Amino acid sequence: MQTVDVKSWTNVSETVFVPRNEADYDRLVAMLDELVDQVGEDESHPLASLMDVISALIENYENANVPELAMK
Give, for all 72 residues of the chain, the pLDDT tens digit. 778 788 888 888 889 999 999 999 999 999 999 999 999 999 999 999 999 999 999 999 999 998 776 555
Give the pLDDT of residue 63: 92
Q: How far apart are CA 61 and CA 21, in angstroms?
A: 9
Count CB-CB contacts under 10 A for residue 57. Answer: 19
* Amino acid identity at 54: I
Give the pLDDT of residue 71: 56
Supply the pTM of this predicted model: 0.84
Give the pLDDT of residue 70: 53
Contacts of 54 (CB under 8 A, 6+ apart): 16, 28, 31, 32, 35
Give the pLDDT of residue 51: 96
Considering only CA atoms, give the Rg of the chain.
14
